[in-house]
Amino acid sequence: MAWEALLGRVPLPAESIHRMMGESPDLAGAARAYADAIRSRLAADGDGRPRLDLVLLGIGEDGHTASLFPGAPEGEGDPLVRAVGGPPGGVRRLTLTLSAINAARVAVFLILGASKAHRVASILNRGGGGESLPAAQVRPTEGRLLWILDAPAARGVNAAEKGNLDN
């Protein structure tokens, strides 16, 4: 999906694309391998964490982002990449951790559609009740957080909060 929607449309050399091996029978090992690949290619910050330049995220109707689901255990693997369970009854998968996401220089949420409006509002409206959801925990420590919303997805966001969002 990432290839079809984005990567296949930009002139990137193949060696610049590093796909997580989410189909591996050893997901914990695949998580460690992907974390090692990140560490070998990226400079570390002052705390020794590699910093991604950009993390592009979506949000699920349950408030999950990446494959970080509400109430799910942290999973197995590395502090950067983990093997985790999906939603109840879902397949196991790989995900960047909140630590890796929050070390990024820029984290961007791209949210489209009215089906996400309630969840977006619960996260962005102060006191909206979504503060504990994984998507609400994305707060780059030394970077920038951007929310790009279409009008239907932004429908429930308070006017005061809309002024704080980048257009």
> Would you list the DSSP string of 115-163?
GGHHHHHHHHSTTSS-TTSGGGG---SSSEEEEEE-HHHHTTS-HHHHT
- Over the stretch 10-69, which tens digit does the pLDDT of each residue have? 898 888 888 899 999 999 999 999 999 999 998 887 777 899 999 999 999 999 999 999
* Cβ neighbours for 1, distance < 8 A, ≥ 6 positions apart: none
List, in sequence order, every residue forming a beta bridge with 111; answer none if it has no partner. 149
**The pLDDT value given to residue 18:** 84
Q: In the CATH hierarchy, which fold is given to the domain comprising 26-162?
A: Rossmann fold (3.40.50)
Yes or no: say if 120 and 158 are a contact pair by the CB < 8 Å rule. Answer: no
Q: In which element (H, E) is residue 109 found?
A: strand 106-111
What are the backbone dihedrals phi and psi of residue 106, each rounded to the nearest 5 degrees, phi first? Answer: -145, 130
Whole-prediction pTM = 0.86
